[in-house]
Structure 1
Amino acid sequence: MKDQISGVFPVLPTIFSADGAIDSGGLANVIDFAINCGVDGVVFPGLASEYDMLTLQERKDLIAFVGSQVAGRGEFIVGASGSSLEESAQLAQAGAGAGAVGAMVMTPKYIGADAVLLGEFYAALADSAGLPLMVQNAPVPMGLGLSGDKLRDVVNSTDAVRWVKEENMPCGQRISEMLANPPANLLGVFGGAGGRYITDELARGAIGSMPAAETPEIHVALMAAHRSGNSEEVRNLYEAMLPILMMQAVFRWRLTKETLRRRGLIASAYTRAPGPEFDAGDHDELTRILVRLDQVIPRQAAA
């Protein structure tokens, strides 16, 4: 079991056919593409996977599929957020069986923002998960948006918690707060929020980012520039990505899937989750954004 991880870990979307059925072939294409772009690992299922639109059995089946498709070519973090301790344990165990190196679990809303009760939840989960844990601190309404003090208390609740994914804004300030007095068992903090604040997060000591999956090669290039100390290139790549990051903040899964569809990786941009739809103007805007991105770093062609 590998403890330390870092770098670019895109959250994989769940790919559906036009009738809403799961498209495992499309998901396999996305996994292979991300790995070929040089990502350090992948995450599944998370918020960007429409995990709450999947049944428990669908999630477990897809976790097994993702693990078999990754096949050791990168690290795999399983998303084990659920509606109960038992459900999260089942998902974490499925991830352990599929080769995952850690389980990312959002602070459960059904428990509430009580650090003692949350600590008891993660400690109990650690007893049955079979994996080290990552606490996902997502903002309200998706998560609880814990304060820095409460989050630290939760991380201190069990040595099984090794990482935090900090998405409660302002994310950068909260990363600095955690790393100013890190729990002994904490190996590092990841940024999330679609990668929209990645430069600030990395500057403050984040060990990686978990963005969406539409342009993995640009995130990989940005991380390489960061690791080499080329802060100017980090900034250039980030500024080039800003238009698509802002569009993704509005359209979420639909932006990711429409981009992947245009890249020839998937046949349909269908989403089960509700949200804004593209109109003709949005399609035109995405075209302009992708053309300009190609001028910065050519998008890799699908295999």
Structure 2
Amino acid sequence: MQHTVQFSGIIPPVSTIFTAEGGLDKNGTAALIDDLITAGVDGLFFLGSGGEFSQLSVEERKAIAAFAIDHVAGRVPVLIGTGGTNARETIALSQHAAQAGADGLVVINPYYWKVSEQNLIRYYQQVAGSVDLPVLLYNFPALTGQDLSPALVKTLVEACPNIVGIKDTIDSVAHLRSMIHTVKAAHPHFSVLCGFDDHLFNTLLLGGDGVISASSNFAPQLSVRLLQAYRDGDLAQAAHYHQTLLQIPQIYQLDTPFVNVIKEAIVLCGRPLSTHVLPPAGPLDDARKAQLKALLQQLKLC
């Protein structure tokens, strides 16, 4: 069994770039992938919330996963989000990602029904058992309506040897701390990655492993440099980057879903790409674009 952390550091949840007609913009997505790898990220996560997985059909998700894996071509580890509202679809997507060459899967808990603990454990056993790949849990209770508690996560890790980490997208230091103390203390190879930019420093200080957060699409250097400073033992420099990351979440309040905000920020930070988003998301209006630009300028990001 693998006893070192497999997925750590800065792993952007990559925005899927679409054409104006709503198809995959391969050139745009490829350019974004190349930019992020050049920026020094430690891996890439496709088809998360920011990748608009919930607005895509199964066939579209398969095509995007295959394209992304192929374009990354082993330069960094690739994680594919395969979760959804039902087990059969998640298993089909997981097996496809495995065949396409993914390095790991990220699986959110089903988000329509509240699922009993027994059914949730069975669900993850079925999904994890359907592939040989490492699986990261994806906890986003604000959107799923159901928290993956540290105690439940520990049970899942003990039931499924290939569950190796979690993306804990929760605005709570206490939850991250408990995840590290409850799960990682018992299973040191387990990777705890926060899902919010402003928790990266906390997560590292608590003994966690890194971040999967939206700002690394448009300002990967902030998180990459924070992590490097932390690893070098330069906490003052890490805190300097943390001060900027603390301000970033206000950007996401400009719209819901904020996938459009991320794409506009990528453009404002110097990479001209299509900002088309899939409905029910819509374009960012001019007033909010101006607010976004002002915020990014204030943070010296564009």
Same fold at TM > 0.5 = yes
In the other structure, the counterpart of 1:223 is: 227
Residues 184, 116 of structure 1: CA spacing in aligned structure 2 closer, same or farther, 3 A cutoff? Answer: farther
The one-letter code matched in structure 2 to 1:181 is T
Aligned equivalents of 1:58, 1:115: Cα separation in 2: 31
Residue pair 1:241, 1:293 contacting (<8 A) in 2 also: no
Q: Secondary structure at the match of 1:289?
A: helix
Aligned equivalents of 1:11, 1:142: Cα separation in 2: 18
Residue pair 1:64, 1:97 contacting (<8 A) in 2 also: no
What is the percentage of aligned positions where both structures have the same residue?
Answer: 28
Deviations 1:79-131 (CA, angstroms, capped at 9, x unpaired): 11123222112222222233322111011235634222211111111221231
The one-letter code matched in structure 2 to 1:190 is L
Q: Which of 4, 25, 28 is equivalent to 2:30?
A: 28
- Which is further off, 242-251 or 51-60? 242-251
In the other structure, the counterpart of 1:190 is: 193
Deviation of 1:246 after TM superposition, in Å, equals 1.6
TM-score (ref. length: structure 1): 0.88
The one-letter code matched in structure 2 to 1:179 is I
Q: Which of 86, 91, 99 is equivalent to 1:89?
A: 91
The one-letter code matched in structure 1 to 2:232 is S
Residue pair 1:111, 1:118 contacting (<8 A) in 2 also: no
Q: Secondary structure at the match of 1:141?
A: helix
Q: Which of 231, 237, 240 is equivalent to 1:233?
A: 237
Residue pair 2:170, 2:195 contacting (<8 A) in 1 also: no
Residues 124, 174 of structure 1: CA spacing in aligned structure 2 closer, same or farther, 3 A cutoff? Answer: same
Residues 126, 278 of structure 1: CA spacing in aligned structure 2 closer, same or farther, 3 A cutoff? Answer: closer
Deviation of 1:239 after TM superposition, in Å, equals 1.5
Deviations 1:55-84 (CA, angstroms, capped at 9, x unpaired): 100100110100011111111111111232
In the other structure, the counterpart of 1:167 is: 169
Residue pair 1:136, 1:165 contacting (<8 A) in 2 also: yes
Deviation of 1:46 after TM superposition, in Å, equals 0.4
In the other structure, the counterpart of 1:278 is: 284
> How many residues are aligned here?
294
In structure 2, list runs of 5 or more residues that go unmatched: none
TM-score (ref. length: structure 2): 0.88
Residue pair 1:190, 1:206 contacting (<8 A) in 2 also: yes
Residue pair 2:6, 2:189 contacting (<8 A) in 1 also: no
Aligned equivalents of 1:224, 1:42: Cα separation in 2: 18
In the other structure, the counterpart of 1:176 is: 177
Q: 1:292-303 alignment to 2 at 5 Å? A: 292-294=298-300
Q: Secondary structure at the match of 2:143?
A: coil
In the other structure, the counterpart of 2:202 is: 200
Deviation of 1:281 after TM superposition, in Å, equals 3.6
Deviation of 1:156 after TM superposition, in Å, equals 2.7
- Which is further off, 133-142 or 147-156? 147-156
Deviations 1:29-71 (CA, angstroms, capped at 9, x unpaired): 1100000000001001101111011110010011010001111
Aligned equivalents of 2:153, 2:136: Cα separation in 1: 12
Residues 185, 115 of structure 1: CA spacing in aligned structure 2 closer, same or farther, 3 A cutoff? Answer: farther
Residues 262, 169 of structure 1: CA spacing in aligned structure 2 closer, same or farther, 3 A cutoff? Answer: closer
Q: 1:1-303 alignment to 2 at 5 Å? A: 4-110=6-112, 112-170=114-172, 172-182=173-183, 183-184=186-187, 187-193=190-196, 195-212=197-214, 213-251=217-255, 252-275=258-281, 278-294=284-300
